[in-house]
Amino acid sequence: MRKLVIAISMLAFAGSAAFADPILDRQALMKERGKIVGGLSKVAKGEEPFDATAVLTQLQALQANAEKFDVDALFPKGSDTGDTTAGPKIWEDMAGFKATGDKYLADVKAAVAAAPADVDALKAQVGAMGSDCGTCHQGYRIKKS
């Protein structure tokens, strides 16, 4: 029985390694990130009521999402072709690409650490994150039709 479990888990591991598509994985993470930021942004703009607990939960979700963003695993060499808008500069300047991600993660962590007590505090935090989004998408993403 134990052997079977080990065999199955090894198979599952091999399968995930063989079939994982880094392009789909990173797109899924970015989609999730956009959705969370979208929810926070609605609160920041006053379209939805400010609830400190709910906001903190969302910020924590954002941090978990950012921590899952493992650049080495998600952007292996060769994943610049196919159905992707990842720009070639990612691989030309991997250090710079990682630095923009680190800056974003630091800003998200700072927001969680200083849990916003009101809309204005949240607004400033969302603004900083939004600027990080732009900085990375400015150089490392290419718009395609």
Partner 1 sequence: MAWLKKLVGAALILGGAGAAAGWLLSAPVKLDAAALAQLGPGDATKGKRIFYAGGCTSCHAKPGSQGDARLQLVGGLQLKTPFGTFVPPNISQDPKDGIGAWSVEDLANAMLKGVSPSGEHFYPAFPYASYARMKPSGIADLYAFLKTLPAVAGKAPANSLGFPFNIRRGIGLWKRLYLSDQPVVALAGGTRDQVVAGRYLVEGPGHCGECHTPRDFAGGTKKSEWLAGAVAAEGSGIVPNITSGGGLANWSEAEIANYLETGFTPDFDSVGGAMVDVQRNMAELTPEDRAAIAAYLKAVPPHPNGYPARKPAAN
120 near partner 1, rule: CB under 8 A: no
11 or 92: whose CB is closer to partner 1? Answer: 92
Q: Provide the 3-class DSSP secondary structure of residue 141.
A: strand
138 near partner 1, rule: CB under 8 A: yes
77 near partner 1, rule: CB under 8 A: no
Closest approach of partner 1 to the CB of residue 73, in Å: 21
Q: Which of 38, 49, 78, 113 binds partner 1 (CB under 8 A)?
A: 38
Question: What is the C-alpha to C-alpha distance for residues 62 and 16, in angstroms, rounded to an integer?
Answer: 25
From residue 10, how far is each of 1, 4, 5, 58, 95 by CA, in Å? 14, 10, 8, 35, 33
Query: Residue 109: phi, psi to the nearest 5?
Result: -60, -40
22 near partner 1, rule: CB under 8 A: no
Which of the ranges 65-73, 105-113, 114-122, 126-134 carries the binding residues for partner 1, by CB under 8 A? 126-134
Q: Which of 2, 3, 77, 144 binds partner 1 (CB under 8 A)?
A: 144
Q: CA triplet 132, 134, 139: central angle to 5 degrees? A: 110
- Biggest CA pair distance of the chain: 58
The residue ranges that bind partner 1 (CB under 8 A) are 34-35, 37-38, 41, 45, 81-83, 85, 87, 127, 130-131, 133-135, 137-138, 141-145
